[in-house]
Structure 1
Amino acid sequence: MSYLIPSYSLKIEDENLEELRRDLWNNDPVPADLMAEGVTYDIDLAYRGSYTRKFRKRSYRIEFINPKVFSGGREIHLNAEYRDPSLIRNKLSFDFFHDLGVLSPQSQHINLSRNGSHKGVYLQLESVDEFFLKKRGLPRGPIFYAVNNNANFSLLRDEKVKDSLLSGYQRAFGIQSDNDFLQEFINKINTIPLSDFPDEISRYINIDSFLRWLAGAVCSMNNDGFTHNYALYRNSGTGLFEIIPWDYDGTWGRKISGGIMQYNYIPIDGKKSNHLCYLLMRVPEFRILYRNILEEILETKFTVDYMENKIVDLHDALRPHILLDPYKRNTIDLFDSEPDFICQFIRDRNNYLKNQLLNF
C-alpha cells in the first residue's frame, strides 16, 4: 500500500503567533485551529524540543481541545526533522523498534501550512501517554519521560551525586505516588549486590524488552538515546517497567547535527553512561540473552535486504513534497543521496557488529 502524505492547515491569530514567537523557550501554549482530515479542531499550540527551537523550521506540540481526540489521542507532536537530510530517520527507527517487539510511537509524515503559507513536510508523532496505552490494549500505568542526561539509572552524573533519584525524569502520566515506583527501581539498580542482580532486577523491568531496545539503539546507533530520549512505562499488570524510544533523528549514520557519525562509534553493548546497561552486561545470563537477540536481528532485520524497500518507499513518497518544502527543496541532491547513504551505513554497521560478536 502506498504511503500517503496528508495535508494539515494551521490557523493562528497574529497576536497569538507573536506571543508564541516572543519567547522560544516558553512551554505555555497559545490557542489556534487545526484543519485535518476534513475536521477543524480547536487546539493549544506550543513549540517543542530543546536546541531545535533555534532552527528556522520549528517543531510543535499540539493538544486537542474541541474535539478532544484526534487519531485516537489527545496530543500529537509535529517534528520539523530540520537537521535530518532524509527526513525519515525518526520514522525508520520507530518502525524498526516496532518490528523488534519494542513499544514505540506511531509516526506519519504530513504537509503543514500556517495561515495559508506552506511550511513543508513534518513528522507527526504519537504522544506516549494514557491514549498510547489504550490503543495497544495495555494496562494503565505511570509513564516517565527521560528529559535530560540525569536519566542514566545511576546515583551519579559526572561523578557527582544527583540531588534526586528522579532527577532527569518528568512524569507524563500517573499520580504523585507513582514516583515511588521509579525511585525504588533506580535505588535497587544501584544497591543490589551483583550476585543477586539477575533475580532482583527481573522483578522491576521487562528484561527481554529492555535488551531488544538496547539492540535497536545499538544497531541504529543513537548516541543521544542512552541517557536521554526515552520513556519508561510501568505495566500495572506485570509490575515491570518497559522502555520506549523517543527522538531518533540522530541515527542511521548521522549525528543530531546532521553530520556523519562513523559506523563504529557506539560500542556493541551500548554506552556505559547508562548504568543499567552497564550492569546488565556484567551478568552472564543477560549478556548471552542480548547476544542471541542481537545475532538474530543482524541476520533478519538489520540488513539491507530487510530495510531497503522501507527506505526507498519512504524516500519516493516524500520526494514530491520535499520539492515544495521551502526549507528543504534547495538540498534535494542531498535528500536524493540519503537512501544509498543509509543502506551503506547498515552494511558497515552490520559487519562491524558481527565482528564484535566474535569476542563478545
Structure 2
Amino acid sequence: MIDVDLHPVSKAIAGRWAVLLIVVAYATASAQIPEFKITMARADRESLFSRDAFSNEVLPATFEHAGKVWKDVQIRFKGRSNRYFPKKSYRIKFPAKHHFNGVHSLNLHSMFTDKSLLREKLSWDFFADLGMLAPRAYYARLSINGKPQGLYAVVDRVDKNFLALHGKTSASLYNAGGFYSLADMSVQPKELLTLYYPKEIGEDDDYRDLMSMLDTLNRTPDSLFAGMLARLFDINSVYNWFAGNIILSSGDSYTKNYYLYHDPSRRSQQWIIIPWDYDESMGLTGDMAVPYPGSLLNDGFDYRFPPLAGPSNVLRERLWKNPALREGLRQRVDALLHSLFTEERMFPRIDSLVSLIQADVAADSQKWGTFQDFLDNVQTVKYYVTARRNFLLKTYINVPTGAYDNVTMRTTQSGVAYHFVGLDGSQIATLWFSHIRGLDSVRIECFPDSLPPDIAQTNRPRAVRRWLRITPIPAAAKFTAKLEWMYHDASSMDREVGKAVKDERSLRCLWHGGGGWIPVDSHVNPFANLVTVDSITEQQCAEGSYFGLFLP
C-alpha cells in the first residue's frame, strides 16, 4: 500500500490558502468578467425551464449590465446537444433600437461538455490570430432572477450585425448547421439545400447563388480546379478553415458547423467560409458506445486524429486530391505550428485565462465536474498543444521516420524537454533532466495494450495495459530527471485501463528492478491519461528494470 496522503495539519493549511487565493482571484476577476443579470416574470421563468427544451419560442425578460437596463429583451435556449444537459445555453435578443454594444443578440454558451472551460475561447482566439472572418468570444457570468447560472462563453452570432462589425456587406449567408448535418458541399436539389443550409440573410427562397457555386465546385475538371478555387473562394478562408480544423482536431465541421458567406461586392473570391462550434475540440472525443447525448459526456482524450479527419466533404476531398493545393495546406499548417500554435505562445495565453476564470469556475455550481477536474483539464489542454503539435510535425509536416513505440534521443542538456515521439506520432514519454553526468542518449520503449511482466494475476484488472522501459546510453551514466508518460483512454471501448480501476487518480507508477515492484512518487491526470513521476535516476533504468501503472 502506498501512503501519499498529506499530514492533516498540512492539508488544513493548504485548504485555507486555496480558499484565500480563490477569494482574491474572484475579486480580481470580478473587475474583468462582465456580469449579465436576467429578470423574468415567475411564470415565464417556470415556462423556460419546464417546457420542451427544444422550443425556440422566445420569452420576455429584462437584461441588466453595468447599471444599464434593457427592459424588452427576449430569451430562449439555444443549440442542440446542450439542451439535454443541466446547464443550458441561451440566446438573448435585444430591441431593434436598443442594441447591446452594437449587437442585436447574444449567444451564451454553457461550455458544459468541456471541463476546462477553455477550448471554445482558445479556438476563437486562434481563428482571430489567423485573421479569419470568425466569431469573437469572451467570458461572462449569468444570473436569472438572482440565481447564479455560472460562467459562460459569449460568442458572436453570425448575422447582419456580425458582418457590419467586420465591415462586410449584408448579403447571402448560409448556415451549414441544420438539423440534418448533411452540408457536405455536394450538388443537391433546392428542396434539400434549404434543409442542409438554412439561409440566415437574403431572400429565403433564393438559393441560386449557392446552387451555382456548388455546381462549379463539383463539376470543374481536376485540371482546372485550383484556378477555379482561387477565383471562387477567398482562398485564405479555405486554407485557414482546414488548418484550424487540423490543429484543433475539429472533425465534425465538414457536414455542419460552418457558414458560407457570399460577398457580391468583391470582383472575385466572393465566397468566404466562416467557422463555427468548437466546444468539442482540442482532444475531446465522443464515446460511440454510449447513446447520444451521453456520448458527449466522455472524459476520453486523444490527439492523434489524422489531418482532415471527419465525414466526407467535396471541397476537402478535391483540395486534398490536388498536389499543389495539398502542399499549400501543408505549408500553412507548418507555418502555424512554428508561429501561433507553440507552447511559448499558447501556454501563457492558457495561464492568463485560467487566472481570469478560476474563481468563477470554482463558484459555478452548474458546471460538469469538480474544481480539481478543471485544474486537471487545464493541464490536459496544455498537453494537447504539445502532443498535437509533435504528432503533426512527425506524421504530416515531415516524412515519418524511426520506429513504433521505440525511440532513442540524444539527451545532453538539463532543463530541456525531450519528447520521445514514435513513428506514428504517439508521444511515448517526456524527460526533463535536472542533473546529467556522462549521458549521451536515452532509449525509451513502450509496450502498448500489454501488461508488464511479473504482475500478479490478482493485479491484472487493477493495472493499465502499458509499460515502459528506459535505457540510458552509456549504462554507466548518471542522471536525475522528471518523467511523464502516457497511456491510452479515448472511450469506453478504446482504453488500456483495467476494469477494476474506477478512479484513475488512484493509480500509481511503480518500477520493477528485479526485487519486486517498488512505488515511486507519481500522480495521474485521468483526463490527459498522463503519468508524472517527480524524479527518476539511472538506478530505476538499469538493465531489467521497467515501469508499470496499477492500483496500490
Q: What TM-score bracket applies, with the shorter chain setting the length?
A: over 0.9
Q: TM-score, normalised by structure 2?
A: 0.61
The structure whose residues are more often helix, as a share, is 1
- Confirm whether residue 351 of structure 1 aligns to residue 393 of structure 2: no
Instruction: Return the offset for 1:213.
Output: 1.1
Structure 1 residue 176, shift from structure 2 partner: 3.5
2:208 and 2:311 mapped to 1: Cα distance? Answer: 25
Aligned match of 2:112: 82
Which residue of the other structure, out of 143, 153, 158, is the alignment partner of 2:185? 153
**Cα displacement string for residues 253-294 of structure 1 (whole angstroms, at most 9, x for unaligned residues):** 1135353331112x2244351221111111122112111111
Within a 5 Å distance, the mapping from 1:189-200 to structure 2 comes to 189-200=217-228
> Please, which moves more after superposition, 140-149 or 321-330?
321-330
Structure 1 CA distance for aligned equivalents of residues 358 and 303 of structure 2? 26
Displacement after TM superposition at 1:219 (Å): 0.3
* Pair 1:67–1:12, CA change in 2 (3 A): farther
1:183 aligned residue (205, 211, 219): 211
Counterpart of 2:301, as a letter, is: M
Looking at structure 2, the residues matched to 346 and 19 of structure 1 have their Cα atoms a distance apart, in angstroms, of 43
Query: For residue 81 of structure 1, what is the amino acid of its counterpart?
Result: M
* 2:237 equivalent in structure 1: 209
Q: Deviations over 1:178-227 (max 9, x none)?
A: 52111211222222221221222333211222111110111011122222
TM-aligned CA deviation for residue 131 of structure 1:
1.0
Q: Aligned equivalents of 1:329 and 1:274: distance in 2? A: 33
Q: Relative contact order, CA 8 A, sep 6+: which one is greater? A: 1
Equivalent-residue separation in structure 1 for 2:343 and 2:361 (angstroms): 24
Is 1:30 paired with 2:95? Answer: no
Aligned to 1:113: 143
For the pair 1:226 / 2:220, whether they are aligned, the reply is: no
Q: Report if aligned partners of 2:245, 2:308 keep a CA contact under 8 Å in 1.
A: no
The 3 A distance-change label for structure 1 pair 261 and 184 is: farther
Question: What residue is the counterpart of 1:271 in the other structure?
Answer: 310
Q: Secondary structure at the match of 1:236?
A: coil
CA distance in 2, matches of 1:50, 1:235: 29
User: CA separation in 2, counterparts of 1:257 and 1:188?
Assistant: 40
C-alpha distance in structure 2 between counterparts of 1:166 and 1:200, whole Å:
25
> Which of 123, 137, 154 is the equivalent residue of 2:167?
137
Offset of 1:359 from its aligned partner?
A: 4.2
Inter-CA distance 203–270: structure 2 relative to 1 (3 Å threshold): farther
| Match in the other structure for 2:367 | 328
| Distance verdict in 2 for CA 1:241–1:67, change over 3 Å | same
Equivalent pair of 2:143/2:150 in contact (CA under 8 Å): yes
Please state how far the C-alpha of 1:60 moved relative to its aligned partner: 0.6
Amino acid at match of 1:305: E
Q: How far apart are 1:326 and its partner, in Å?
A: 1.2
Unaligned runs of 5+ in 1: none
Structure 1 residues 184 and 279 mapped into 2: Cα distance closer, same or farther (>3 Å)?
same
TM-superposed deviation, 1:236 = 2.4
Q: Does 1:244 align with 2:274?
A: yes
Distance 1:14 1:44 in 2: 15
Asked which structure has the greater CA Rg, the reply is 2
Distance 1:80 1:329 in 2: 10
**Is 1:284 matched with 2:315?**
no
Q: Matched residues in 1 for 2:117 and 2:130: separation?
A: 22
Q: State the Cα deviation string for residues 35-62 of structure 1 (Å, max 9, x = none).
A: 1132111211111011210111101111
Task: Please give the alpha-carbon distance, in whole angstroms, between the structure 2 residues aligned to 1:359 and 1:271.
Answer: 23
Match of 2:75 in 1: 45
Residue identity opposite 1:79 in structure 2: H
Q: Which protein is richer in strand relative to its size?
A: 2
Which residue of the partner structure matches residue 309 of structure 1? 348
Q: Name the residue aligned to 1:55.
A: 85
Deviations 1:106-130 (A, max 9, x none): 1111111111111111111111111
Look up the equivalent residue of 2:184 and give its one-letter code.
Answer: N
Does structure 1 retain, via aligned residues, the 8 Å contact 2:37–2:144?
Answer: yes
What amino acid does structure 2 have at the position aligned with 1:298?
A: L
**Identity of paired residues, percent?**
29
In the other structure, the counterpart of 2:549 is: none
Aligned length: 355
Task: List gaps (5 residues or longer) in structure 2.
Answer: 1-27, 286-295, 401-552
Q: Tell me the distance in 2 between the aligned counterparts of 1:182 and 1:66.
A: 29
RMSD: 2.2
| 1:17 CA drift (Å) | 2.0
- Mapping for residues 91-106 of structure 1, pairs under 5 Å: 91-106=121-136
TM-score under structure 1 normalisation? 0.92
AA of the residue aligned to 1:257:
L
CA contact under 8 A between 1:94 and 1:245: conserved in structure 2? no
- Could you tell me whether the CA contact under 8 Å between 2:176 and 2:256 is conserved in 1? yes
Residue number in structure 2 paired with 1:123: 153
Question: Structure 1's 177 and 168: CA in aligned 2 closer, same or farther, altered over 3 A?
Answer: closer
Q: Secondary structure at the match of 2:338?
A: helix
